[in-house]
């Protein structure tokens, strides 16, 4: 078993200097393995951004230059330090070798949640959509962190085949997972998801609500615009503001009656910011068409 001491906690400049000779070191596989472990350790545990960046550069250099990188990283998957194992797994994603996919698929079954997340990201980062079914299974993982990381991995390879699973995930018990699912749906941009996205505009978490309206904006179809119109007003300043901006950008006069109806509803429920946003949207659309209708002012 490889063992390696943690880097001495000196100033970040000194730690960055330690990495410079490592990137250009000409050594055999064993020395390379030890030095790569050291770099991975700094990357995983160092709190200083510049040190982590220096470690990344050193690792990228090694992966580009060393012929034994797959063997070295595979050995690091057995390292006693869990952070090193997880970081090593993440670097499999940039190795141009089809034989690493089975290794990563096996890591999806690892008992360590962070390792499963690293494997999911590495698999998706390779751009191979054949792994989508395997990643979708991870949306049932008991760890919300694994589910969230898996969704952001799926965002690298968006595909219509994942739509049913993503729509179901909008009902996940964790708000971070629901928000991530909305984000992936925005990348796919399919109108069949509009009803589900409109439904979570009323979510209890503001991150989810805001991701939903941004997803509807990104889809941008006529059906999406109609869905936004019929959902007004909202008891959320950001959601209401973004919705109004979307409608102003679309700029159709036929939006005004719907906006006016929503404005009256907002006044009845005393949602002041919604009233202001909707009134402003009506005014701007009228200005775009050089029209003034006192019935809507």
At 19 the pLDDT is 47
Q: What is the pLDDT along the chain (297 residues), one digit of tens a residue?
A: 444 444 444 455 555 555 445 444 444 444 455 555 555 555 555 556 665 666 666 666 556 555 667 777 788 788 777 777 887 787 777 777 777 888 888 888 888 888 888 888 888 888 888 889 989 999 999 999 989 989 999 998 999 999 999 999 999 999 999 999 999 999 998 999 999 999 999 999 999 999 999 999 989 899 999 999 988 888 888 888 899 999 999 999 999 988 888 888 888 877 676 788 888 889 899 989 887 665 555
Place of tokens 């994603």: 93
- Note the pTM of the prediction, 2 decimals: 0.71
């Amino acid at each position: 078993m490889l063992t390696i001491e943690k880097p001495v906690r000196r100033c970040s400049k000194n730690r960055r200097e330690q990495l410079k000779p490592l990137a250009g070191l000409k050594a055999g596989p064993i020395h390379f393995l030890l030095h790569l472990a050291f770099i991975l350790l700094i990357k995983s545990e160092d709190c200083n951004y510049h040190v982590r960046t220096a470690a990344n550069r050193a690792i990228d250099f090694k992966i580009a230059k060393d012929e034994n990188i797959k063997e070295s990283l595979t050995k690091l998957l057995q390292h006693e330090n869990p952070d090193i194992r997880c970081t090593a797994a993440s670097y499999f994603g940039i190795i141009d070798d089809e034989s690493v996919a089975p290794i990563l698929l096996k890591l999806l079954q690892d008992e360590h949640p962070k390792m499963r997340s690293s494997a999911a990201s590495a698999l998706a980062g390779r751009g191979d959509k054949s792994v989508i079914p395997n990643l979708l299974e991870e949306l049932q993982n008991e760890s919300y962190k694994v589910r969230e990381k898996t969704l952001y991995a799926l965002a690298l390879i968006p595909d219509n085949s994942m739509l049913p699973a993503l729509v179901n995930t909008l009902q996940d018990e964790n708000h971070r997972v629901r928000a991530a699912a909305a984000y992936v749906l925005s990348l796919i941009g399919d109108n069949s998801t509009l009803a589900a996205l409109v439904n979570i505009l009323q979510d209890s978490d503001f991150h989810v609500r805001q991701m939903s309206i941004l997803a509807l904006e990104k889809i941008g179809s006529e059906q999406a615009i109609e869905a936004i119109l019929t959902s007004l007003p909202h008891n959320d300043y950001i959601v209401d503001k973004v919705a109004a901006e979307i409608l102003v950008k679309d700029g159709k006069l036929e939006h005004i009656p719907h906006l006016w109806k929503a404005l009256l509803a907002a006044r009845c429920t005393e949602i002041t910011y919604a009233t202001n946003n909707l009134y402003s949207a009506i005014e701007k659309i009228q200005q775009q068409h050089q029209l003034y209708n006192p019935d809507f002012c």
